[in-house]
Amino acid sequence: MNPKKAMVQALAVVGMMTAMSCTCPLASLVSPASTATPTPTKTPEPSLTPTPADTPTTAETPTPEVMFTPTQVPTPEVTDAPTATAVPPAQTPQLLTATPAPPTATPTHRNPPPPPTPIWEFVYLENSMVSEPNCGSVYLEGEITGVGREPVDGITVRLRWWDNVEYELSGTAGGHSPGKWGFSPLELLQNRRYQPFIIDIVESQTNPVPRSDELQVEMVDCSQAGQFTNIIFVYNR
């Protein structure tokens, strides 16, 4: 408790007790011999209202601090997990099947392709030949021309029939007009041999390599056709 407050409370108690003890008449207290002197009336002090004592504060009880002692947890020992080993599937035995041999190819006999048609240096001018009856003197005549239909001399013309072969040069080299050529096989009339004539252009009499296609002239009856003229071969290049 505060000492000052305790003192004030004690003085208040004493004052109250003094007031209570002075209840007798004031005259008895005054001596007769003495002149009555008025005694001042003591104004009673107001009593101090007792201050309630401080309520003792409950001391806080310290909360005991909990001390945690770390407990060492044993580390589990890591062991290697077993490794799964793949087991290969059991092989199914395969049955060996004999593969039949392929059939033997049968060779097919094919005719060889025809040779390509050559591009001739000279070609017969279609439908140029003119035939007329002649039983007195059978003959064949024609002409060799260039691209512009100009006459060409010195070209070798070949005539074949049966086993006979004759050659003539075109133009003046063969005793003819420019570009012209001709044959007169009179012996055929004498022997009465009627057969086709084959006419073509060759390199020369000594080198009879063909330079044109072949023209076949049919002779059946001299009374119908015994002379053949205007047989034209044209340069083709």
**Residues facing residue 142 across a β-bridge:** 181, 231
Write out the residue range of the structural domain in which residue 165 sits. Answer: 122-235
The answer to whether residue 116 sits within a structural domain is no
The answer to whether residue 137 sits within a structural domain is yes
How far apart (Å, rounded) are the C-alpha atoms in residues 139 and 67? Answer: 151
Q: What is the pLDDT of residue 113?
A: 79
The answer to whether residue 101 sits within a structural domain is no
How far apart (Å, rounded) are the C-alpha atoms in residues 232 and 226? Answer: 18
Q: What is the pLDDT of residue 111?
A: 80
Sequential DSSP letters for 103-168: PPPPPP--PPPPPPPP--SEEE-TT--EEE--SS--EEEEEEE-TTS-B--S-EEEEEETTEEEEE
Q: What is the pLDDT of residue 237?
A: 84
| pLDDT tens-digit series, residues 25-53 | 434 433 444 444 555 555 555 444 545 44
Q: Enter the pTM of the model.
A: 0.51
Query: Residue 117 is encoded by which pair of tokens?
Result: 């048609």
| Domains: count for the chain | 1
CATH number for 210: 2.60.40.10
Handedness of CA 217, 161, 183, 205 (dihedral sign): positive
Q: What is the pLDDT of residue 235?
A: 95
The answer to whether residue 86 sits within a structural domain is no
Q: What is the pLDDT of residue 28?
A: 44
The answer to whether residue 158 sits within a structural domain is yes
The answer to whether residue 164 sits within a structural domain is yes
Q: What is the pLDDT of residue 142?
A: 97
How does pLDDT run along the chain (237 residues), one tens digit per residue? 556 666 767 777 666 665 555 444 434 433 444 444 555 555 555 444 545 445 445 545 555 555 655 556 556 565 555 565 666 666 665 666 667 777 776 767 678 777 777 789 999 999 999 999 988 788 999 999 998 999 999 999 999 988 889 999 999 999 999 999 999 866 665 555 577 899 999 999 999 999 999 999 988 888 888 899 999 999 998
The answer to whether residue 38 sits within a structural domain is no
